[in-house]
A and B are shown apart, each in its own frame.
Chain A
């Protein structure tokens, strides 16, 4: 388990680095796909099987593809080899490092930081439970529905914005 985690972690971080530094946007998008895969594995290790699959299907299958389409639609710029980073990249790097250190430090001050996970109770079907939680009125049906409305709205908006009036 540990080894799996470590390998996954390395993959995630490395590909994330590539995402943010790749000059060619298509490359960056593809590197994002790798990162997303790694995250899916992580979900699986955390016994969130459904989420892992959703991750692959939605994130990679929809969002990453969407990225690639957008890259293609925005023309030659994507394929050009201009500098990938802007002028203030060092400030951004500094910010990132500071953020990381800050977050880590804050988290390690929390007493539950180094706890281990407990075993799941037998017969615990996370998918079932998740499904129940999503649709039962005592649980999270409302946020679920709202999220769907949000999606619809966003997509309508996106279509409208990107619509080519010719």
Chain B
């Protein structure tokens, strides 16, 4: 089949899985996961085929694989939607397909397929274990299967559909559609365990926060459409259009039209990728099951935000060229990215929940990518996006595996007050869960940027190199510090979780997780190591040149102008080596002896409480919104004013009614007309009755009299 058709078909297996599971296979857990994983596998297969065909195509950037159909009639023309696989889309498709597939497979094990139904499991709450009796008559607990198992796969399918749509689309509209579908699914999945109030709140928080970003993004899309008359990437990113947009000025902050649109679209990225100030939803989104966290916060959704930003790079950098000062928009983007990177890293230092650390880490790394975009380092941003997706997904799935193992321990000991996600309850898990340990280690090192063998090193180094080379010192320093902190807290995490001795009985009884969970870890670990090697800069000492910098060549073709190759500079390399190795070392050093939070000197309240941003937003936005809704709109406007009007109308009508009844109806119509006529008739009757005497002679007299009268009248008339 043609590649174009294949691309069209890629998003649909997960969508089909969604419908099939919801409509038909909901009761059958095995069938549901078969449908789900099978759909993910199909899409993965299709994506791989497309990817390999794409990289085999010469000059894919100038002649991307594309197809479109006329969809919406707009006056004289048609609004077209379609698919586009240019180099950027191809590499993104690659990692999206892999991570989605791995997450689907992982979910089978994570949601405890094959386990018995729990003792008091209810739909909407996390499963709590089932009691079994062993051969010797002893009771023991095992993990129980998730009650809403099938629904999970259905939602994951819908989510996957949204992401695939976003990646393959050739225009902003369908991209936005995919964007919004993922927003919906993140709500559904974060609130998957809807019985927990914290999960419900987190879901709403996520949706609302990203909504703020989405509104601005939609404004940007509308503005773009009105400025150019099209939303199709290939049509917008042409020399002429970009030139026009970049030279037309807007009254806002002296930005050009291109800059303003790019800024508005960027705000969407800020929301979706949880950059400051719209970062507050991501940590709370850890309420969802771990595959969801992996999906949303590593592989797909937040990556979608950065992907959108990368897509709009030509618009962002319209009117800018390498070496020039940053435009206003770029400056804002770079600032937000760098600030977020550092900000989130500081918070991650003080978190004790294994998933929270990773959440803030994600925010931080996304900050890296956004900053990279802001300074115009296109390739670096894409590179880091992909490597991050792999190792972050790996880390999240790994943490899920750890939690699963800990839950095993919790069920064993029966002490449900122990939080299986708290790192201070772990320790020594490297012996109990070796595969998880090694893959997590690889992932952690990749995150920290461990030199050469991890992909994270190559991508992070490229960002730093780009920042240094173009003289963006503030960004460089900020990112370097953030990288140091990243390595530090990562090592903290690894030390507390896996190294040392188990600190609790639950940790002692932890178990390795089944193959459906460890195989994805291994696959992702493979990529976390090797993916970096496709993008080794050719000017790198010693290692550069062994492999061609395929990534730069390939992805660079997406832009109109091939981004230049950077000259090698020793400073960024040394810096990244220093921060990575230093951070790892110091992290290990500081935490190898720590046994409890009391000994942890980084448990600073400000950091633990996320710089009090949640409280600030609550005060500034949430409470006023509630007040507005409850008091102003509900009490005053709705109940008071509108209901008041309605009651008033009702009262007036009732009054009119009773007035009419009493004065007109009763008095005039009933008494006067109704009873009056009756009385009149009666009176007349009484008066007239005596005429009928029954005496014939009187009747005759009367008739004769009348006859005479009438006769004389007639006679006189006729005789005239």
Task: Report A's interface with B, CB cutoff 8 A.
Answer: 86, 88, 91-92, 95, 98-99, 102, 106, 109
Contact = CB atoms under 8 A, between A and B. Distances in A.
A86 B697 contact: yes
Nearest to B712: A102
A98 B698 contact: no
Contacts of B697: 86, 88, 92
Contacts of A88: 697-698, 701
Given A95-B704, A102-B711, 17 more contacts: A86-B697, A88-B697, A88-B698, A88-B701, A91-B701, A92-B697, A92-B701, A95-B701, A95-B705, A95-B708, A98-B708, A99-B704, A99-B708, A102-B708, A102-B712, A106-B715, A109-B719
Contacts of A91: 701
A86 B705 CA distance: 18
Contacts of A95: 701, 704-705, 708
Contacts of A92: 697, 701
Nearest to A92: B701
Contacts of A86: 697
B316 to A, nearest CB: 122
Contacts of B705: 95
Contacts of A102: 708, 711-712
A32 to B, nearest CB: 19
Contacts of B712: 102
Q: Which 3 A-B pairs have the closest CB atoms?
A: A95-B704, A91-B701, A98-B708
A138 B181 CA distance: 114
Q: Is the interface of A mostly helix, strand, loop or mixed?
A: helix
A98 B712 CA distance: 11
A1 to B, nearest CB: 34
Interface residues of B, number: 10
A88 B719 CA distance: 33
Nearest to B711: A102
A102 B711 CA distance: 10
Interface string B676-710: 00000000000000000000011001001100100
A111 to B, nearest CB: 13
Contacts of A99: 704, 708
A99 B707 CA distance: 10
B283 to A, nearest CB: 118
A109 B718 CA distance: 13
6 contacts: A95-B704, A95-B708, A98-B708, A99-B704, A102-B712, A109-B719
A63 to B, nearest CB: 21
A65 B306 CA distance: 139
B244 to A, nearest CB: 116
Contacts of A109: 719
Nearest to A86: B697
Contacts of B719: 109
A88 B700 CA distance: 11
Nearest to A99: B708
A115 B282 CA distance: 136
A101 B698 CA distance: 22
Contacts of B711: 102
A88 to B, nearest CB: 6
Nearest to A109: B719
A86 B700 CA distance: 13
A91 B712 CA distance: 18
A92 B702 CA distance: 10
Contacts of B715: 106
Nearest to B705: A95
A83 to B, nearest CB: 14
B317 to A, nearest CB: 126
Contacts of B698: 88
A88 B711 CA distance: 22
B719 to A, nearest CB: 8
A105 to B, nearest CB: 9
A92 B708 CA distance: 13
A91 B699 CA distance: 12
Contacts of B704: 95, 99
A95 B704 CA distance: 8
A156 B711 CA distance: 38
B293 to A, nearest CB: 119
Nearest to A106: B715
A102 B714 CA distance: 13
Contacts of A106: 715
A106 B712 CA distance: 10
A86 B712 CA distance: 27
Nearest to B702: A91
A116 to B, nearest CB: 26
A112 B399 CA distance: 142
A92 B698 CA distance: 9
A43 B711 CA distance: 31
Nearest to B715: A106
A106 B701 CA distance: 21
A58 B697 CA distance: 28
Contacts of B708: 95, 98-99, 102
A95 B697 CA distance: 12
Nearest to B698: A88
B597 to A, nearest CB: 130
